[in-house]
Structure 1
Amino acid sequence: MKQYLLILTLIFTISVSSQNETYTLKNISINDELSQYGVVHVKDNIVYFSRYKVNSFGTVERNSGNQQIFTLYHGEMTKDGEIVNAKEFVSSDRFVFNSSSAGFSVDGKYMYATTNEKKRGDVYKYDDKTRNLRMERGEYVEGKGYMKFKPLPFCDERYSYAHPSVSPDGQYLYFTSNIPQAKGPTDIFRVKILGNNKYGKIENIGAHVNSPRKEMFPYITEGNVLYFSSDRAKGIGGLDIYRVEMDSDGKFGKPVLMSAPINSEADDMCFELLTDGKSGYLSSNREGGKGEDDIYYFTIAN
C-alpha cells in the first residue's frame, strides 16, 4: 500500500491559474484505496460513477479470469461536490460482468452504459471469452429505475464501443471505438440519434481531434466545446485532458492541452462540467491520491 494512503482524511486541494481561469481541485471523500472514476450528472443532483464491484463481505468481485469487475454506482451530489448515499446501480437486466461509463439522454429517460459481457439469459453467437466492449441503452421506468437494456444496433461484436456521451441538444451520441475507421488504437466517433433506438451513420469526428494515439472519454458542453482524453505526443504524461471548440457547421478546430492542475504526469480523464459551468468533476490516478483512480471535484473562478 502506498504511503500517501495515510492521508485519507485530508482534503487535497490545488489552485492554479489556467487559460485565464483558476481551477481548484478537491479529492472527494468517497474515494478510497479502490478505483472510482467517471462521474456523470443526470438531474436533481443525482450522479453516476464507475467503481470496483464489492460483495457483502467488502471484497472486490472478480470474473472467471480473476479480473476485477467494474460496475456503476449512483449517489447524491452535495453543494460542495461531495457524493453521498452512494449505492450500486441495480437493474432487472443485471449484467454478469463489467458495466461502466454511463451517459444519459437530456431528459434522463434513457441511460447508455458500457458493458463487456452478456446479461443473464443472453445467448451469444460468439465465444463467451470475447471481451469486446459494447454500449447498451436502458429506459427509465417510473418506480423501477433503468431497465430493458439492449445493445445499440450499430455495435459490431468484432469491435469495442465505449464511453457514451449525449450532446446537450440531444441530437448526437459521442463515443470511443476501435472500428476500422479509427486512425489510432481508439478514436472518438458520433452518431445521430433518430429516435426509437435508431441511429444515423457513424462519423469519425475528424483528424483535428483524433490522432495516431488513443482518444477516449468524450464530453461536449452546451457551448459546443468537446473535452476528451488522449495519450498523444507532446502531452504532460499518460492520458491528458484536451478541449476543442466546434463551429456552427459541426466541425472541430485544434485541440488545446489543458494546464495543471487539470492535467498531471499521470492519467487524467472523464472531464465533465456541471450545469452552472463553474464546477465539475474529473478522474485521475495522480500522485497524492487515495486509490488506483480517484474522483476530483473542481471549481472555476475567472
Structure 2
Amino acid sequence: MKVFWGLYMSLFSLLSFSQTEVYTVTNLDINSEHPHFGLMQIASKKIIFTTNLLDKKGRLKRFQGVPILTVFQGDLSNDGRISNIDQIIIDPKENISHITSATISRDGKQLYLTTRYTYKNKPKGDFNMENFHLKVGEFKTGLGWTNFKVLPFCKPKYSYAHPAISNDGKTLYFTANERGGKETTRGGSDIFKVAILENNTFSKPKNLGSKINSYSRDMFPFISANNTLYFASNRPNGFGGFDIYKSVMNDDGTFEKAEKLPQPINSKQDDFCLIIDSENKTGYFSSKRPEGKGDDDIYYFKQN
C-alpha cells in the first residue's frame, strides 16, 4: 500500500462485498485509482478525508515533484453516500502540501493535522525529514485555515500522526513512536493521548498501555460516541496486513483489552481508519482489499 507506508511509514458503485449476519460492506463511488483514507467525522453529518489534489483535467498536482496530499470534507447521507465534496482550504502562506490526516475541534475553531517539516520550517538539531508532526491552526475568512503551530509535545526526533478528539473535546488521541521512560513506545508506533488544556496547552503524552498497544504498529485512532476506541494494527494473528481493533473505555479512563473486528470489516489486506455513528450501526473505513478501485478506498458499512 504505497501511500499508507508513506504516512509513517452521486451514487454507490454496483460493487458490493460479501455479507455476513453482522455487516454489509459497500465500496463508494468517490473512490478512484488515487488513495482515499484519513477518515474523521467532524459533525453528525460531515466527514473529512485525505486524497491527492488534482487539476481540472484530473491530473496529479505536485509540490517539488511529489504528489500533493490534502484534506477534503463532504456531507453524509442516510444511505451512506458522501456528497458535496470540497477541499479544506489551507492558507497558501503556510506551505503545507502534504497532509495525511486531520480533525477539527468540537467547537469548529481549530484544525489539527499531520504533516512533515519542509526545508523552510525544519527545526534545529538532529531529526529525520521523513518524520511527521502535528500542527493546529485557526480559521480566518478569506485565508482559510492559518496560523498553524506545531503542538508543543512533538519532539523533532520522533514521529506523530493521526489526531482524533474525544467527544467532550478534552482529550487528543494520536499515533507516535516516542521513546524513553515509562511511557515509551512498545512497537513501531503506539497510540497516545494528551489532555487539551486552556490557551492551546496540553498535558504530557500518555501511552495507552499494553491493552491497546502491541509490539507492532498501532495507529489511526478514533473514539466513538460511547467511548469505544477503534484503531488499526498489524500485530500477529490478524486476518492480514493491518486490521481494525476496538477497545471499550472504562469509567476510570482505562481501556479493556483490544479485540479484532470480524470480517467483512477486516480482510486479508490493509484495513484502517474506521469511524462509526453514535448508534454503532453504520460507519466508514479505508481498505486496500483487491476488489477495490486501485489504491486505498473508502467503504461504507452497516449492521444487518
Normalising by structure 1, we get a TM-score of 0.88
1:88 maps to a residue whose letter is: Q
Deviating more after overlay: 135-144 vs 83-92:
135-144
- Show the 5 A alignment for 1:21-100: 22-43=22-43, 45-64=45-64, 66-92=65-91, 93-100=93-100
User: Shift in Å at residue 124 of structure 1?
Assistant: 4.2
- Show the 5 A alignment for 1:219-238: 219-238=222-241
2:47 maps to a residue whose letter is: V
CA distance in 2 between partners of 1:98 and 1:23 (Å): 34
Contact 1:97 1:117 in 2 (8 A): no
CA distance in 1 between partners of 2:172 and 2:208 (Å): 12
Partner of 2:7: none
Work out whether 1:132 is the aligned partner of 2:135.
no
User: Shift in Å at residue 126 of structure 1?
Assistant: 5.6
Contact 1:43 1:108 in 2 (8 A): no
1:14-42 CA-partner distances (Å, limit 9, x unpaired): 3213xxxx212111110011111122221
What secondary structure is seen at the aligned counterpart in 2 of 1:34? Answer: coil
Q: Residue 206 of structure 1 is aligned with which of 198, 209, 220?
A: 209
What secondary structure is seen at the aligned counterpart in 1 of 2:14? Answer: coil
Partner of 1:14: 18
Partner of 1:5: none
What secondary structure is seen at the aligned counterpart in 1 of 2:19? Answer: strand
2:98 maps to a residue whose letter is: N
Contact 1:235 1:257 in 2 (8 A): yes
Contact 2:137 2:145 in 1 (8 A): yes
- Show the 5 A alignment for 1:166-181: 166-180=165-179, 181=184
Q: How many matched pairs?
A: 288
Contact 1:103 1:164 in 2 (8 A): yes
Contact 2:127 2:157 in 1 (8 A): no
User: Shift in Å at residue 283 of structure 1?
Assistant: 0.4
List alignment gaps of at least 5 residues for structure 2. Answer: 1-11
Contact 2:224 2:278 in 1 (8 A): no
List alignment gaps of at least 5 residues for structure 1. Answer: 1-7
User: Shift in Å at residue 9 of structure 1?
Assistant: 4.7
CA distance in 2 between partners of 1:189 and 1:97 (Å): 25
Q: Report the identity percentage.
A: 39
Contact 2:94 2:147 in 1 (8 A): no
